[in-house]
């Protein structure tokens, strides 16, 4: 017989929910990848009327009323990064969040890259 203590997190009152249960077994987000430093912003108030959202989806939407990075979001809701990326992708697919990937600037000076590589080797 399983005790109720085995189903509880030591620092919380609620039951433990395994990450794969939150993502229905998915380990990667649908669509384009979601960078660790991407900014996530909830779109409008559609989340309040949107049926079928899990509590974790709603928590993401509440936190993203102002732009928040994926890393900060994962920390804020205390879930693994992979799970948060899947949740964000679910919301993006429903049109409930915008994900703004960081702009990448091409390095035009190979000398800088060489200096960085040399410095890393010295470590």
Q: Helix or strand or coil: residue 68?
A: strand
Query: Which residue is associated with the tokens 């009152």?
Result: 13
Q: Give the pLDDT confidence of 65-78 residue by residue, as tens digits.
A: 999 999 999 988 88
pLDDT for residue 8: 40
Strand (E) or helix (H) holding 89: helix 81-93
Strand (E) or helix (H) holding 1: none
Confidence of residue 7 (pLDDT cuts 50, 70, 90): very low
> Which one is predicted more confidently, 29 or 108?
108
Q: Walk me through the domains of the chain, giving residue ranges and CATH numbers.
A: 4-122 (1.10.10.10)
Pairing of strands 68-69, 39-42: antiparallel
Do 43 and 96 contact (CB within 8 A), yes or no? yes
The pLDDT of residue 110 is above 60? yes
pLDDT for residue 113: 80
Q: Give the pLDDT confidence of 34-84 residue by residue, as tens digits.
A: 888 899 999 877 556 677 788 888 889 999 999 999 999 998 888 888 888
Do 54 and 22 contact (CB within 8 A), yes or no? yes
Residues of the chain above pLDDT 90, percent: 20
Q: Which two tokens stand for residue 116?
A: 């960085």
């Amino acid at each position: 017989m399983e005790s109720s203590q085995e189903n509880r997190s030591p620092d919380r009152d609620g039951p433990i929910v395994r990450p794969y249960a939150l993502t229905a077994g998915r380990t990667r987000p649908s669509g384009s990848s979601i960078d660790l430093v991407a900014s996530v912003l909830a779109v409008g108030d559609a989340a309040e009327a949107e049926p079928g959202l899990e509590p974790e989806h709603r928590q993401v939407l509440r936190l993203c009323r102002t732009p928040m990075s994926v890393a900060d979001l994962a920390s804020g809701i205390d879930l693994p990064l992979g799970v948060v990326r899947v949740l964000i992708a679910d919301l993006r697919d429903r049109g409930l969040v915008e994900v703004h990937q960081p702009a990448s600037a091409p390095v035009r000076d190979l000398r800088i890259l060489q200096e960085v590589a040399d410095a890393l080797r010295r470590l």
